[in-house]
């Protein structure tokens, strides 16, 4: 299982690695740590979508380490870079996302089309499958579009899990209310809520999301977790979305979808650094199996390995 997860992370990072990250190793192959090395490193990190702010911070930390630890060899600096990158994305890993017992509710939010519904199907399968073995129920709280409800029902059938839905146009709060009652009655221990995609700039939609959360909380589940799905292919844009969602509702963690479809995977460092939110999963493709628990060590090692020629 664990090797499978690593393989998925490796494969999904191919484009990001081959485009810029894989070239970083080359920067450290010179004889000494000089200004050219710093310039080249900075350029590659920014090109890799790590972002100006996070890149600056990394370089400052590394320069300080070079001074304090008296680092002379580029190879040692390269190790230090890996350490700092790992530290940046390792926050919150291993923390309990779901309760050990009692009812857990996961609310999945994000901008239109980022991959929420697909991610829910993947997670539902993961959480209900071997090892995790939870009794999972899905909730179609994206009531704006009939197609959205159908889409979740189709996934529900494929993964063999119940889906609670109302008619299109229904109040999302009412669906959620009913779903929690049904979950308790049927002895479920995990409810995953699909919400409508919303622009982070639309105040009324952000309010609706808060309302859904309040309704959930009133039902007294053990844990309510809000997962924000970001689309890795949008690069730095994902960062500004995440900031606004975090400010509107309490976001507990992130899923970065479509890592396989981008060379901009470096944005994960900017997101982790500037939001201080844990990354729990990454989406590695369009199929049900294409999801992996995030692993900071593997992520960094995989990114910095040399591109295949």
Ligand X SMILES: Nc1nc2c(ncn2[C@@H]2O[C@H](COP(=O)(O)OP(=O)(O)OP(=O)(O)O)[C@@H](O)[C@H]2O)c(=O)[nH]1
Residues that bind ligand X (CB under 6 A): 110, 112-118, 142, 148, 197, 257-258, 260-261, 283-286, 290
Does residue 192 sit in helix, strand or coil? strand
- 64: burial class by Cβ within 10 Å (0-12, 13-18, 19+)? exposed
Q: Which stretch binds Mg ion (CB under 5 A): 50-58, 89-97, 117-125, 295-303?
A: 117-125
In terms of CB distance, is 290 or 295 closer to ligand X?
A: 290
* Cβ closest to ligand X, residue 9 vs residue 257: 257
Residue 118 interacts with Mg ion (CB under 5 A): yes or no: no
Q: How far is the CB of 116 from Mg ion (least distance, A)?
A: 5
Contact between 141 and 211 (Cβ < 8 Å): no
Rounded distance between C-alpha atoms, residue 5 and residue 291, angstroms: 8
- 128 vs 233, which CB is nearer to ligand X? 233
- Whichever of 18 and 40 has its CB closer to ligand X, that residue is 18
Residue 152 interacts, among ligand X, Mg ion, none and using kind-specific CB cut-offs from 5 to 8 Å, with none
Q: Which of 118, 262 has the CB closer to Mg ion?
A: 118
In the list ligand X, Mg ion, none, the entry touching 286 (Cβ below 5 to 8 angstroms by class) is ligand X
List of residues 6+ apart from 60 with CB closer than 8 A: none
Residue 163: both structure tokens together: 């889906």
Q: Which of 41, 55, 176, 51 is nearest to 108 (CA)?
A: 176
Interface map 59-98 toward Mg ion (x if CB under 5 A):
----------------------------------------
List binders of Mg ion among 238-297 (CB under 5 A).
Answer: none
Q: How far is the CB of 140 from Mg ion (least distance, A)?
A: 9
Strand spans (E) along the chain? 104-109, 136-141, 163-164, 190-195, 223-231, 253-257, 279-283, 291-293
Q: Which is nearer to Mg ion, 57 or 116 (CB)?
A: 116
**Which is closer to Mg ion, CB of 145 or CB of 211?**
145
- Could you tell me the smallest distance in angstroms from the CB atom of residue 294 to ligand X? 13
Between 17 and 116, CB nearer to Mg ion: 116
Angle at 120 between CA 118 and CA 126, to 5 degrees: 110
**Region of 48-56, 111-119, 123-131, 241-249 interacting with Mg ion (CB under 5 A):** 111-119
Collect all residues with Cβ–Cβ distance below 8 Å to 297 and sequence separation of at least 6. Answer: 86, 90
Question: Is there a contact between 193 and 139 (Cβ–Cβ < 8 Å)?
Answer: yes
117 binds Mg ion (CB under 5 A): yes
Minimal distance, residue 257 CB to ligand X, in Å:
4
Q: Which stretch binds Mg ion (CB under 5 A): 66-74, 94-102, 116-124, 160-168?
A: 116-124
Rounded to a whole number of angstroms, the minimum distance from the CB of residue 123 to Mg ion is 13
Residue 25 in tokens: 């190793």
CB of 228 to ligand X, least distance (A): 11
In terms of Cβ atoms closer than 10 Å to its own Cβ (0-12, 13-18, 19+), residue 243 is middle
Q: How many helices (H) and strands (E) does the chain have?
A: 13, 8
Residue 119 is a binding residue for Mg ion (CB under 5 A): no
Give the span between the Cα atoms of 283 and 8, in whole angstroms.
9
Task: Give the footprint of Mg ion on this chain (CB under 5 A).
Answer: 116-117
């Amino acid at each position: 299982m664990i090797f499978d997860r690593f393989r998925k992370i490796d494969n999904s990072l191919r484009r990001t690695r081959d485009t810029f990250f894989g070239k970083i190793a080359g920067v450290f192959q010179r004889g000494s740590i000089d200004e050219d090395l710093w310039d080249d490193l900075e350029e590659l990190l920014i090109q890799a979508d790590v972002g100006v702010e996070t890149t600056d911070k990394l370089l400052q930390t590394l320069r300080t380490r070079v001074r304090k630890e008296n680092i002379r060899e580029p190879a040692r600096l390269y190790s230090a870079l890996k350490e700092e990158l790992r530290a940046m994305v390792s926050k919150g890993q291993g923390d309990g996302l779901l309760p050990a017992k009692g009812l857990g509710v996961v609310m999945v939010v994000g901008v239109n089309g980022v991959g929420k519904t697909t991610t829910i199907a993947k997670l539902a399968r993961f959480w209900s499958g071997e090892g995790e073995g939870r009794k999972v129920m899905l909730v179609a709280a994206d009531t704006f579009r009939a197609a959205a409800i159908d889409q979740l029902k189709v996934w529900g059938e494929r993964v063999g899990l119940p889906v609670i839905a109302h008619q299109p146009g229904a109040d999302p709060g009412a669906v959620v209310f009913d779903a929690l009652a049904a979950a308790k009655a049927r002895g479920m221990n995990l409810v995953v809520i699909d919400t409508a995609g919303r622009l982070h700039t639309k105040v009324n939609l952000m309010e609706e999301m808060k309302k859904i959360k309040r309704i959930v909380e009133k039902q007294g589940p053990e844990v309510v977790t809000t997962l924000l799905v970001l689309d890795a292919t949008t690069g730095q844009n994902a960062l500004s979305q995440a900031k606004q969602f975090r400010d509107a509702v309490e976001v507990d963690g992130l899923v970065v979808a479509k890592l396989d479809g981008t060379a901009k995977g470096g944005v994960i460092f900017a997101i982790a650094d500037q939001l201080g939110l844990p990354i729990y999963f990454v989406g590695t493709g369009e199929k049900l199996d294409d999801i992996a628990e995030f692993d900071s060590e593997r992520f960094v090692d995989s990114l910095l390995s040399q591109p295949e020629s």
